[in-house]
């Protein structure tokens, strides 16, 4: 069954088109990655799915029911982890989870059980009676997740749940996403961190300027860019002028710099490695290592948009 | 059920915010103490209400009103409030202004008018209260007279003993400054509900939790009503604490109609909440909180929270501002309820509060419906 069906979805803010005629289908049981740079329109899409925003046009179905017509049904089956923390600092972790779960019709012992279960799930059982104002960023993010899952929704949408947290909490969250999926939840995972999406998602959509520009499994996405090679050159030091230096080399498409590494995307069909290295050596650059990388999602993104995901 | 759990959550915020709570309760209590002591002289604490003297000019040339009033004056006179005919050639309003009498009553064929002393605000209120109940009864009697002339006497006769009962309660009561400030501070704190209400929706938006409330399978109206209910209960509890504190610690006088007093305060809190809510919808952004808090401060000031505002019907800008303040309406009405046992004085205040509450709520609901999200 399709858990989510989006048809021709558009959202305009004045003249600005944040989501542009988007269509998407997600089946039950997937971990679906929604990958895009900041401002691509991911949150706006999610806000329409969760009925926080009214679409300018288009249709959204959850479990094959139109959310505009059966909003209660849609809402009951949906759990949202908002991009910005949405918790009460002056209520304990338990009170937060139990208050929000209560809005989904859970009462009494059942409510207590589910709230405790959700806290257990995100590893905050021992903090149930503590106030979030004393929590670390990662703990708050985990509580933010607990508040979205206690009512056992069929579809959970996480909007950048790992922004600005320590690696330990990030791993914890990624592990819990997998566990949630194993327990039968469908998950839409939004991020601009490609490694995360690559690590956990079974299918991925790349969003840019409000449009889905590519969609498929990791392998499918990577296989679309067989015509590009990704050369990683480590230098002793990088001046920032290497891009200009390499632009004239035939086949070179883009040059990116990450610390003292430059990454060159080039037509796979053009044999230009010698020219590239010569160009660098003639300019007096000291080369430490050279390797040709497997294409990853970043390469895909770069090839499709001409921009780096992190820009 | 959702409404209840949202209301309870709202009260948790209110009562866990120690600093605001301390301010809500501490400020009025301290002020009651300081102003109550410092301004004792501003009140006629030496003169008992029994000494009230009122000048009367009867311009009706006899007739039923004149007769009825004479009977009323006689009954009331037994308790010490004396109605004396205005000396020939004297000007009643000047008599009042020169403090020779506490009030001046004019009977004409159009009805009764009263000029109160601006110095003895409380005495004036008492006289006004007595006259109000007299006119109520007279009007009733007049209505009866039109249908069954024989029964008129009866209505007026029972009226007489009522004034006496009312006055016997109050005649030796001396409203002091603590009494004044107990009432004034309580009414002011009731109005403060507007400030909390201004942050009611915005607070959720700032915390990001508005998102969770809106995506939950509940109606917007449930969120709205739950939050209002929680706020109203929290504010009423504060109001009750101040009443009890003033009553039992400062021994302030609250009269014999606590139920009516509380009903007026409930209506005031509901009106204040609605005002704050409408304000936060109409004046978007964080600026609305500042504006609402300024408005409440002005209402407190002009409404007599910090010093007694006298019964100066003379008009002018001050008079105009004073009468705009809901704190003023409530203070005025409740003074009559408490000191003159004039329960009917509560009605106009209740009506005004409920009317404005309905207006502000209507505005808020319209604004809320239009919005995406909360
Ligand atoms: N309420 C709004 N009013 C105007 N523009 C908005 C609003 N919300 C988002 N946008 C714009 O829409 C675009 C997409 O935003 P968003 O969906 O938050 O992106 P993402 O979540 O992918 O980072 C951005 O350019 C943003 O500035
Ligand atoms: Mg976003």
Q: Tell me: do A93 and A204 sit in the same domain.
A: yes
Residue B123 pLDDT more than 80?
A: no
Residue B161's pLDDT band (cuts 50, 70, 90): very low
State the average pLDDT for chain A.
91
Higher pLDDT, A237 or B138: A237
Asked if residue A133 is part of any domain, the answer here is yes
Q: Tell me: do A177 and A245 sit in the same domain.
A: no
Residue-level pLDDT at B61: 79
Among A222, A241, A276, the domain-final residue is A222
Q: Tell me: do A216 and A253 sit in the same domain.
A: no
Q: How far apart are CA B125 and CA B265, in angstroms?
A: 19
* Cα of B354 vs its chain's centroid, Å: 13
Asked if residue A309 is part of any domain, the answer here is no
Among A222, A242, A266, the domain-final residue is A222
Q: Tell me: do A196 and A273 sit in the same domain.
A: no
Residue-level pLDDT at B143: 65
What is the total count of domains within chain A? 2
Q: What's the A82 CA to ligand 2 centre distance in angstroms?
A: 9
pLDDT, tens digit (0-9, with 9 covering 90-100), for A94-142: 999 999 999 999 999 999 999 999 999 999 999 999 999 999 999 999 9
Asked if residue A299 is part of any domain, the answer here is no
Q: Tell me: do A119 and A253 sit in the same domain.
A: no
Q: Tell me: do A103 and A60 sit in the same domain.
A: yes
- Please compute the mean of the pLDDT values over residues A276-298 and round it to a whole number: 87
Q: What's the A208 CA to ligand 2 centre distance in angstroms?
A: 12
Question: Measured from the CB, is residue A132 less than 6 Å from ligand 1?
Answer: no
Q: Tokens 């990655």 label which residue?
A: A33
Predicted complex ipTM exceeds 0.90: no
The answer to whether residues B93 and B104 touch, using CB atoms and an 8 Å cutoff, is yes
- Please compute the mean of the pLDDT values over residues B134-148 and round it to a whole number: 68
Question: Measured from the CB, is residue A93 less than 6 Å from ligand 1?
Answer: no
Higher pLDDT, B298 or B163: B298
Q: Tell me: do A99 and A216 sit in the same domain.
A: yes
**DSSP E strand stretches across chain A:** 2-13, 16-27, 31-36, 57-62, 65-66, 78-81, 155-159, 186-191, 203-208, 211-216, 228-235, 252-258, 261-267, 287-293
C-alpha to C-alpha distances, B156 to A225, A295, B74, B126, B135, nearest whole angstrom: 102, 102, 13, 20, 10
Asked if residue A310 is part of any domain, the answer here is no
Residue B47 pLDDT more than 60?
A: no
Both tokens of B131, joined, read: 């006259």
CATH classification of the domain holding A110: 3.40.50.300
C-alpha to C-alpha distances, B232 to A97, B5, B153, B236, nearest whole angstrom: 25, 14, 47, 6
Q: Tokens 């995406």 label which residue?
A: B372
Q: Tell me: do A187 and A249 sit in the same domain.
A: no
Strand order in the sheet with A155-159: A78-81, A155-159, A186-191, A31-36, A203-208, A211-216
Q: How far apart are CA B162 and CA B321, in angstroms?
A: 36
Higher pLDDT, A12 or B77: A12
Which residues are placed with Cβ below 5 angstroms of ligand 2, an ion?
Answer: A 42-43, 83
**Which domains are assigned to chain B?**
2-43+174-370 (no CATH), 52-171 (3.40.1710)
Residue-level pLDDT at A167: 87
CATH classification of the domain holding A261: 3.30.70.100
The answer to whether residues B82 and B53 touch, using CB atoms and an 8 Å cutoff, is yes
Residue-level pLDDT at B312: 52
Question: Measured from the CB, is residue A44 less than 6 Å from ligand 1?
Answer: yes
DSSP-derived secondary structure letter, B87: P
Contacts of B205 in chain A (CB under 8 A): none
Cβ-defined contact of B212 to A52 (cutoff 8 Å):
no
Asked if residue A175 is part of any domain, the answer here is yes
Domain span at residue A255 reads: 227-294
Q: Tokens 């929706």 label which residue?
A: B201
Among A176, A206, A222, the domain-final residue is A222
Residue A243 pLDDT more than 50?
A: yes
Q: How far apart are CA B85 and CA B99, in angstroms?
A: 16
Residue B167's pLDDT band (cuts 50, 70, 90): very low
Asked if residue A242 is part of any domain, the answer here is yes
Q: Which range in A287-301, B15-29, B224-238 is most confidently predicted, on average pLDDT?
A: B224-238
Residue B172 pLDDT more than 50?
A: no
Q: Tell me: do A255 and A147 sit in the same domain.
A: no
Q: Tell me: do A238 and A128 sit in the same domain.
A: no
> Could you tell me which residues come within 8 angstroms of residue B370 by beta carbon, excluding any fewer than 6 positions away?
none
Residue-level pLDDT at A222: 86
Cα angle value A272/A273/A274 (rounded, 5°): 95
CB atoms within 10 A of CB B161: 10
Q: Tell me: do A196 and A103 sit in the same domain.
A: yes
Asked if residue A307 is part of any domain, the answer here is no
Q: Tell me: do A58 and A85 sit in the same domain.
A: yes
| Mutational pocket test of ligand 1: of A33, A38, A43, the residue with most ligand atoms within 8 Å of the beta carbon | A43
What number of residues does chain B have? 374
CB atoms within 10 A of CB B7: 20
Q: Which of A54, A91, A100 sits opposite B212 (nearest CB)?
A: A100
State the average pLDDT for chain B.
80
The answer to whether residues A196 and A184 touch, using CB atoms and an 8 Å cutoff, is no
Give a three-class secondary structure readout of A107-159: CHHHHHHHHHHHHHHCCCHHHCCCCHHHCCHHHHHHHHHHHHHCCCCCEEEEE
């Amino acid at each position: 069954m399709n858990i989510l069906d989006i048809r021709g979805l558009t959202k305009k803010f004045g003249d600005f088109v944040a989501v542009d005629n988007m269509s998407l289908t997600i089946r039950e049981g997937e971990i679906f990655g929604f990958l895009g740079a900041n401002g691509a329109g991911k949150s706006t899409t999610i806000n329409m799915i969760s009925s926080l925003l009214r679409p300018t046009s288009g249709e959204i179905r959850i479990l094959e029911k139109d959310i505009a017509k059966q909003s209660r049904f849609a809402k009951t089956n949906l759990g949202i982890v908002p991009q910005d923390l949405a918790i009460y600092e002056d209520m304990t972790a338990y009170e937060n989870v139990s208050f929000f779960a209560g809005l989904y019709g859970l009462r009494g012992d059942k409510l207590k059980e589910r709230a405790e279960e959700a806290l257990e799930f995100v590893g905050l059982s021992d903090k149930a009676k503590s106030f979030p104002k004393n929590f670390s960023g990662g703990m708050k993010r985990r509580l933010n997740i607990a508040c979205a899952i206690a009512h056992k929704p069929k579809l959970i949408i996480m909007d950048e749940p790992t922004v600005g947290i320590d690696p330990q909490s990030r791993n914890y969250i990624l592990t819990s996403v997998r566990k949630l999926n194993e327990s039968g939840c469908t998950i839409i995972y939004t991020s601009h961190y490609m490694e995360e999406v690559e690590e956990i998602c079974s299918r991925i959509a790349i969003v840019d300027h409000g449009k889905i520009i590519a969609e498929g499994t990791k392998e499918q996405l990577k296989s679309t860019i067989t015509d590009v090679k990704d050369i990683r050159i480590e230098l002793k030091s990088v001046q920032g002028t290497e891009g200009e230096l390499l632009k004239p080399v035939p086949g070179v498409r883009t040059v990116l710099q990450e610390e003292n590494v430059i990454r060159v995307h080039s037509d796979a069909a053009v044999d230009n490695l010698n020219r590239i290295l010569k160009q660098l050596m003639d300019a007096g650059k000291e080369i430490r290592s050279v390797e040709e990388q497997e294409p990853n999602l970043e390469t895909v993104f770069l090839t499709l948009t001409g921009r780096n995901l992190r820009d | 059920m959702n409404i209840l759990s949202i209301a309870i959550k709202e009260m948790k915020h209110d009562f866990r915010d120690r600093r605001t709570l301390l301010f809500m309760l501490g400020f009025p209590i301290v002020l009651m103490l300081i102003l109550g002591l410092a301004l004792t002289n501003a009140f006629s604490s030496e003169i008992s209400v029994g000494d009230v003297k009122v000048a009367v000019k009867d311009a009706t040339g006899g007739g039923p009103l004149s007769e009825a009033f004479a009977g009323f004056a006689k009954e009331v006179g037994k308790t010490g409030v004396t109605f004396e005919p205005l000396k020939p050639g004297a000007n009643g309003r000047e008599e009042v202004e020169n403090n020779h009498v506490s009030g001046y009553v004019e009977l004409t064929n159009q009805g009764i008018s009263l000029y109160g002393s601006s110095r003895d605000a409380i005495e004036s209120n008492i006289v006004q209260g007595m006259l109000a109940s007299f006119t109520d009864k007279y009007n009733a009697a007049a209505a009866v007279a039109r249908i069954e002339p024989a029964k008129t006497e009866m209505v007026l006769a029972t009226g007489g003993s009522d004034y006496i009962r009312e006055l016997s309660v109050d005649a030796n009561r001396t409203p002091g400054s603590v009494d004044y400030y107990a009432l004034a501070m309580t009414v002011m704190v009731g109005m403060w509900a507007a400030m909390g209400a201004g942050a009611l929706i915005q607070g959720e938006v700032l915390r990001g939790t508005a998102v969770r409330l809106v995506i939950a399978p509940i109606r917007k109206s449930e969120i709205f009503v739950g939050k209002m209910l929680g706020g109203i209960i929290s504010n009423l509890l504060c109001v009750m604490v101040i009443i009890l504190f003033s009553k039992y610690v400062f021994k302030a006088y609250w009269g014999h109609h606590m139920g009516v007093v509380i009903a007026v305060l409930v209506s005031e809190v509901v009106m204040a909440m609605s005002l704050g809510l409408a304000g936060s919808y109409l004046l978007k952004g964080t600026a609305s909180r500042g504006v609402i808090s300024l408005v409440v401060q002005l209402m407190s000031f002009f409404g007599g929270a910090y010093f007694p505002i006298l019964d100066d019907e003379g008009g002018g800008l001050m008079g105009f501002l004073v009468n705009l303040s809901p704190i003023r309406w409530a203070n005025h009405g409740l003074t009559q309820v408490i000191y003159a046992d004039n329960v009917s004085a509560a009605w106009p205040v209740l009506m005004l509060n409920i009317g404005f509450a309905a207006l502000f709520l209507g505005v808020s609901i319209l604004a809320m419906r239009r919005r995406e999200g909360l």
